Amino acid sequence: MALTQDDVHAIADYACIALEGEELEQMTSYLNDAVEMVEPILNYTAEDVEPTFHPIGTLSNVMRDDAVDTVRALPIDAALSNAAASRERQFRVPSILGGGEQ
């Protein structure tokens, strides 16, 4: 399955990368080499292999419990003392998604 220069140009446009002339030729060759290296994987059959859902087997959770460290915890009032804006004991920040208020 060889990629054409049109394929690579479309991929570059999608990724907002400007490729023209010699760069386009080099990238087409590079990507075709990469695809060629991966193609043998398609020839493997995995009919007798059970699916692996986690690479470490039965490991379920190695995270510690969520608990407040009362020795190192910063009081909320101290944390908010230098905030540009706060509301209901929370930091107020400008919306980055639009359509919402602070």
Burial 21-47 (b: 16+ CB within 10 A, else e): eeebeebbeeebeeeeeeeeeeeeeee
In this prediction, residue 81 has a pLDDT band, given cuts at 50, 70 and 90, of: very high
Domain residue limits, the chain = 5-43
Residue 100 is predicted with a pLDDT of 59
* Mean residue pLDDT across the chain: 87
In this prediction, residue 102 has a pLDDT band, given cuts at 50, 70 and 90, of: low
pTM recorded for the entire structure: 0.45
Residue 52 is predicted with a pLDDT of 72
Top pLDDT among 52 and 3 is at 3
Is 99's pLDDT higher than 70? no
